[in-house]
Amino acid sequence: MKITFYGHACLGIETGDTHILVDPYISANEKASHIDINQIKADYILVTHAHQDHTLDVETIAKHTGAMVISNFEVAGHYGDKGIDVHPMNHGGSWDFEFGKVKYVNAIHTSSFPDGSYGGQPGGFVIEGEHKNIYIAGDTALTMDMKLIPMYIKLDLAILPVGDNFTMGVDDAIIASDFVECDKVLGYHFDTFGYIEINHEEAKRKFFDKGKDLMLLSIGESIEL
C-alpha cells in the first residue's frame, strides 16, 4: 500500500491496482500549488465530511476520472444529485469494495457544505486492503469511540489530525494513538492555515518520547506500508 500526502487532509492511497483519493482540497491550497489535480488518478474518492477543506475538488476530480464517491448518506446524496457515481454509508457500517473493506466510523466534529446545507454527521474510515489496515480519522476531537477500533482490527497505520484548533492537536493525537493501539502515525490537517500551524520538530519529539513514530510528509511525498 502506497500513501501520498497531497496537503491538508488529502491523501492518495494505492492498494493493488486501485487508486483511492481522500478529501481532495488541492486547487485552493497555496502550499499544494505544485500538485496538478488533472494528473491525479482516482477510482474512488472517500469523503469524511462536507466541509470545503475536504470537498473542494471532489466534483472536478470525480467528473474527470469517473471515480465513485464514498461518504456518509448526505454527502453521497449531494454528489449523486450531480450525476456522480456514489456509494452512501453511515456510521458503523462496512462494505466490501473490490480493493478491500471500508468502515465508516465516528468522528466528533461538524459537517456542512459551504452553502450551509446539511452534510450529515462527520466520520472517519477504517480501510482493510492488501494485507494492510489503516485508520483515517477525519476531522475529529479525541474520542473514546476510537477505543472500539482495536477491538476488531489490528492497524498498521493511524492517520490523525494534529493541527489543533479545528481538530485534536499533537497531545491528544498521542492519546488517540494509544486508543487505537497503533504507534505508527501519519499526521495531517496541519500548516494549511494560520490556525493550524505546528512546530514539526516538537510534535515529532513528543511522539518519540512516548515510543511512537509521527510522520509529517511534504506535500507530494509518499510512504510505502
SS3 label, residue 114: coil
Q: Which is nearer to Mn ion, 53 or 57 (CB)?
A: 53
Taking the complex as a whole, the smallest distance from the CB of residue 112 to Mn ion amounts, in Å, to: 12
Member of 14, 57, 74, 139 binding Mn ion (CB under 5 A): 139
Least distance (Å) between residue 68 CB and Ni ion: 22
C-alpha to C-alpha distance for 98 and 18, rounded to whole angstroms: 9
* H-only helix segments in the chain: 52-55, 58-65, 73-80, 149-152, 170-179, 200-209
Minimal distance, residue 152 CB to Mn ion, in Å: 26
Q: Which stretch binds Mn ion (CB under 5 A): 78-86, 93-101, 137-145, 216-224?
A: 137-145
How many angstroms separate the CA atoms of 131 and 225, rounded? 10
The nearest distance, CB 130 to Mn ion, in angstroms, is 27
- 53 interacts with Mn ion by CB under 5 A: yes
Q: Is 57 in the site for Mn ion (CB under 5 A)?
A: no
Stretch that binds Mn ion, among 35-43, 48-56, 77-85, 147-155 (CB under 5 A): 48-56
Q: Which residues bind Ni ion (CB under 5 A)?
A: 51, 139
Closest to Mn ion by CB, 139 vs 191, is 139
**Distance, CA of 181 to CA of 201 (rounded, Å):** 23
Euclidean distance between CA atoms 29 and 221, whole angstroms: 16
CB 82 within 8 A of CB 58: no
Among Mn ion, Ni ion, none, residue 128 binds (CB under 5-8 Å by kind): none
Which residues of 82-180 form beta strands (DSSP E)? 86-89, 94-97, 100-106, 123-129, 132-136, 157-161
Residues of the shown chain interacting with Mn ion in the complex, contacts defined by CB under 5 A: 53, 139
